[in-house]
Amino acid sequence: MSENELTEFAEYLYEDARARTDSPVGTRFNGAFVDVFREYLVEDGVLEDIEPCYCRKQVGRSTAEVYGYALNDGGSVLDIVTAEHGWKAQAIHKADVQRALRRAHVFVEKCRKGFHLEMDETDPVYSMAESIYDAWSGIDRVRIFLFTDGRLTFDSMPPGEAEGLRCTYELWDIVRLHRLASSGRREEETVIELSEPLPCLNAPGGLDFDCLLTVLPGQTLAELYKEYGGRLLQRNVRAYLQARGKVNKGISETVRLEPSRFLAYNNGVSATVTSADTAFDPEKGLVLTRLVDLQIVNGGQTTASLHHMMQKGVDLSQVKVPAKITVVRQEILDDLVPNISRFANSQNAVKEADLQANSPYHRRLQALSRSIWAPAPEGSTRQTHWYYERVRGQYQVDLNALEKQADRTKFTRENPLIKKFGKTDVAKYELAYLGRPHDVCLGAEKGFRVWTTDVVEAFDGSPSADYFRRVVAKNILFEYIRKEIQKMKLGGYLGPTTAYAVALLADRYRDEIDLDAIWRAQALPKWVDGLVPELAADVVRPLLVAAPGSGNVTEWCKKSQCWETVRAADWGLS
């Protein structure tokens, strides 16, 4: 990449952060700068999340400085963020980086000893310091992230220690972030050096892939998930559903009661890598020594279940997991992985919507939903998120990851279930508003496929914050009309009646429907109230139930002729 590209990208990051705060300096800008980086890394699976909170305090002759934190992996991993901004793609030297990391270390060490006790409870840093102090007994690893718009002059920092705990450093400079943002990859490569080489069989596959068959120790698989977390499952079609489904309960029971039979009972994992190193061992034969860009595309529930039990102290020493590792060229990953997921997965039904979950469109929509706060309703100061569930079960995963009841309460308050929506919901809202209610009536999955082909794949660029807000406004419009129709007790065909009512309202009053105003108010304008009863009961529903030749109403609603009939009705504005 050219120097100009880096400079322009650095300027873009700077302007993005400034636009969020209307200020180029100060604590709020520091938070915005971290938030810009956070969106990229959370979307990519590098981070679960970060709570921005700027702190700079003098500690004796040292300085403590951090920009945010998070307690991840069930509270066992402390993530700390520090930053160096204002470099605008210029070289940042090792001494500057070491100084920033040392200040983060000072903060961690002080928190371990009760830093919050030296602060007033009204200090914004108090909560962060107290949370780290309270969680310390459960923390077994510290990760310090450095975000900078400068260009590093060295490659890496070796791991260290923080108050007796292993401490690793994740350095994200302008080059690395630009590569992530522009390459379209789901994450940077993960390189795994296996401490214990694994005996394997080489099963040549074809011109563009090979397969390695091996058996993974359960402890190794659980530790890999602990180290890399969601990055291992970024290409997996579904979120880990804890132990709620039959599959996960079966895994738990086998590990606890018959661990030595896990290999016989479990289907194992299917994974992809872009490169794998093997060697010949005189005693073991062919052994696997190194994996690059490991992605578990089937067997994510097995992996996360084992990790979950390891965290609870369950012995995994007798657990063995069968594994098929497909070595795939980078350029065909996006074509091959969905088919591996589609054809190999037999544990639970996999829907088409799940197979599209990792597209840049949906990952961006998810990132926006986590970072954008909806305006507080009139008379209230409480703001919430509209939670976009990119992967099935994601909401529950996020909720179950919180061990403290106070944290769970806070999560549900900030992400109320009533404001959770998924991929098929977006398809429904958009298709209805675009005047395609007959496609909505095809059903969630078929409608989703139509929307993906006709709308998402034709979408130019990446969804913006305004785009997300308008999607939410369409959500509000659709769900409000649905609830009003439901109250009318018209009897049957609630879904089709809602879709066609929304489509006809949008068709007639598109110029009067201000989606941005709906977002700001988090409600529809009053004039819509008076239109819904007549629209639904007197116009739409009679035309839906009058299927030609007394045909099936449900099938009639799926036809474009049905929409043409409804659209020709003499109602509302011409």
What's the average model confidence in pLDDT over 156-174? Answer: 90
Q: What is the pLDDT of residue 44?
A: 61
Q: What angle do CA 101, 106, 108 make, to 5 degrees?
A: 95
Residues 336 and 412 in one domain: no
Residues 528 and 393 in one domain: yes
| Helix orientation angle between 465-488 and 494-509, rounded to the nearest 10 degrees | 120
For residue 25, is it within any domain? Answer: yes
Short-list 200, 213, 204, CA closest to 288:
200
More confident residue, 276 or 332: 276
Q: What is the pLDDT of residue 321?
A: 95
For residue 216, is it within any domain? Answer: yes
For residue 573, is it within any domain? Answer: no
Residues 28 and 122 in one domain: yes
297 and 221 Cβ atoms separated by less than 8 Å: no
341 and 260 Cβ atoms separated by less than 8 Å: no
At which of 183, 212, 240 does a domain end? Answer: 183
Measured distance CA(300)–CA(239) in Å, rounded: 8
At which of 144, 164, 183 does a domain end? Answer: 183
Measured distance CA(309)–CA(316) in Å, rounded: 8
Measured distance CA(439)–CA(451) in Å, rounded: 8
Residues 43 and 154 in one domain: yes
Q: What is the pLDDT of residue 187?
A: 47
pLDDT level of residue 550 (50, 70, 90 thresholds): low
Residues 524 and 492 in one domain: yes
Residues 80 and 158 in one domain: yes
What's the average model confidence in pLDDT over 27-55? Answer: 77
More confident residue, 152 or 28: 152
For residue 355, is it within any domain? Answer: no
Please state the domain count of the chain.
3
Domain that holds residue 322: 191-350
Distances (CA, A) of 270 to 186, 346, 507: 18, 12, 48
* CB within 8 Å of 117: residues ≥ 6 apart: none
What residues form DSSP beta bridges with 161?
Answer: 166
More confident residue, 123 or 437: 437
**Side-chain half-sphere CA neighbours of 297 within 13 A:** 27
Short-list 71, 65, 95, CA closest to 83:
65
Residues 262 and 305 in one domain: yes
What's the average model confidence in pLDDT over 295-324? Answer: 88
Structure tokens at 290: 């190194």
Q: What is the pLDDT of residue 437?
A: 95
Q: What is the pLDDT of residue 287?
A: 93
What's the average model confidence in pLDDT over 332-357? Answer: 57
What's the average model confidence in pLDDT over 541-555? Answer: 81
Residues 373 and 510 in one domain: yes
At which of 327, 350, 373 does a domain end? Answer: 350
Q: Is residue 246 predicted with pLDDT exceeding 60? A: no
For residue 572, is it within any domain? Answer: no
DSSP 456: I
Tell me the pLDDT tens digit for each residue of 320-341.
999 999 998 776 766 666 666 6
Measured distance CA(26)–CA(18) in Å, rounded: 10
Structure tokens at 83: 């930053």
Measured distance CA(146)–CA(129) in Å, rounded: 19
Structure tokens at 495: 């879904």
Which of 75-79, 443-447, 460-464 is predicted with the least confidence, judged by mean pLDDT?
443-447
Q: Is residue 348 predicted with pLDDT exceeding 60? A: no
Residues 166 and 195 in one domain: no
Q: Is residue 409 predicted with pLDDT exceeding 80? A: yes
For residue 472, is it within any domain? Answer: yes
Structure tokens at 22: 């209307």
Q: Is residue 396 predicted with pLDDT exceeding 70? A: no
Measured distance CA(403)–CA(278) in Å, rounded: 40
Tell me the pLDDT tens digit for each residue of 436-460.
999 998 877 778 888 988 888 777 7
Q: Is residue 78 predicted with pLDDT exceeding 90? A: yes
What residues form DSSP beta bridges with 279?
Answer: 287
Residues 100 and 167 in one domain: yes
For residue 161, is it within any domain? Answer: yes
**Side-chain half-sphere CA neighbours of 46 within 13 A:** 23
For residue 356, is it within any domain? Answer: no
Measured distance CA(276)–CA(274) in Å, rounded: 7
Residues 422 and 562 in one domain: yes
Short-list 100, 97, 91, CA closest to 150:
91
Structure tokens at 408: 């769970």
Residues 299 and 342 in one domain: yes
What's the average model confidence in pLDDT over 112-126? Answer: 85
Measured distance CA(541)–CA(332) in Å, rounded: 48
